[in-house]
Amino acid sequence: MNFLKIPNKKGDKIIFYHDFGRGKGQRPSTGIFIYKRPKDMIQKNHNKEASALLELKKSQLIIESQAVGTGFIPKHKLKTNFIDYFEEYVKLNKRDGNRHLSNSLTQFKAFVENDFVSPVDITHNYCKRFRQYLLDKFTGETPANYYARFKWVVTAATSDGYFRTNPSEKISAKPNPSVNLKDHLEVEEYIELLRTPCLNQEVQDAFILSCYTGLRWIDVKRLRWEDINGVVLTTRIIQKKTGQPVTLTLHPIAQSILKRRRDMLTYKADYDEGDVVFNLPSQDGCNKVLGQWISFTNIGKHITWSCARLSFSILLKDRNVDDATIAYLLGHTTTEQVQRTYRRHRPKNQVETISHLPTPDLLPYFLNLEE
């Protein structure tokens, strides 16, 4: 395995190139050069170290060539820090509208509590402890979603030669069902909210829009005017199956909110279609404003921003909209989440529900028996 030696234009240096053939791009520079006639000790030492580096590169290329077809991955091709591998995987595989992969990396870093973790440390028990960390920290489908993405990374690393066997293979992703069922809004409560003033107009408009579109807080926060075309809203949620963003036909209430806000902005000289529709505080800040707003009503429920998405789904199901349509509107490719999560968990009116049981004509007879 030899390198090509080509002098530079001035003729005072010799630059080394790879020689993989005579085709285009098969002779890339190694980035290494030596001085043709070193003038002092600095240049002589440079030549000495450059020659040693060339020998190392030559040795690595020989090992790579010998490893072809064997399944053996030379150590110099692997990252010593598994976090670096994880970060690179996220960078290459992240998709707009899907935050589970990047959030999984964030939680893995929090679990590790260090900037470095060697691939040799990623054992079966290590993976199991990370799954438990997620289950202890989150409820619902979140721990399963984050751990499933972590498994993607470990599986890819196994294919790349970091592990002989996949340490996460027999550790399945597990959800953590919440003990407390999330509240949602009924039709009459929608109407009450619309009639109740809120101290923060931005939060009020954004939350009502979420109730009528099923958008998450993060989706509303980054919503831009360029995403709205007349009565159609193109969300940044990407459908995995089609690779296309979800489009929603806006309800008249949602249309009126956006029209009013756009009319206000037309007076601004710096108004731009790339601007965000809402200037919202943090999610915690929004939920605090929302809680205060709810306290001005007679709703009497613990309502957070995520309740808007749940309410959107439940009220559509109440009107007999099919699960496939609701799943599409929520940005899901299957109906699984609608059937398991975005559904009614308790009856709207228990008295009305029980009244559907048969009431026989013998009721007076049973009342007389009590006397």
| Domain ranges, ordered by start, for the chain | 4-68, 78-159, 187-350
- CA-to-CA dists, residue 139 to 132, 143, 179, 180, 182, angstroms: 12, 7, 9, 10, 11
- Using 50 as the pLDDT threshold, list the residues of the chain that sit under it: 371
Q: Give the homologous superfamily in CATH for domain 187-350.
A: Intergrase catalytic core (1.10.443.10)
Q: What is the largest CA-CA distance in the chain?
A: 120
- CA-to-CA dists, residue 195 to 294, 300, 345, angstroms: 12, 16, 27
Whole-number pLDDT of residue 30: 87
Whole-number pLDDT of residue 330: 85
Sheet strands (E) in the chain = 4-7, 13-17, 29-35, 228-229, 232-238, 245-249
Q: 0.85 cut: is pTM over it?
A: no
Whole-number pLDDT of residue 356: 66
Angle between helices 124-137 and 100-112 (to 10 degrees): 110
Which residues have C-beta within 8 Å of that of residue 110, sequence separation ≥ 6?
none
Whole-number pLDDT of residue 20: 78
Cβ burial of 277 (10 Å; 0-12, 13-18, 19+) is buried
Cβ burial of 220 (10 Å; 0-12, 13-18, 19+) is buried
Choose among 94, 96, 95, 111: nearest CA to 147. Answer: 111
Whole-number pLDDT of residue 86: 95
C-alpha span between 212 and 209 (Å, rounded): 5
Which residues have C-beta within 8 Å of that of residue 118, sequence separation ≥ 6?
80, 81, 82
| 162 neighbors 78 (Cβ within 8 angstroms) | yes
Choose among 330, 156, 116, 340: nearest CA to 239. Answer: 330
Whole-number pLDDT of residue 268: 61
C-alpha span between 331 and 242 (Å, rounded): 11
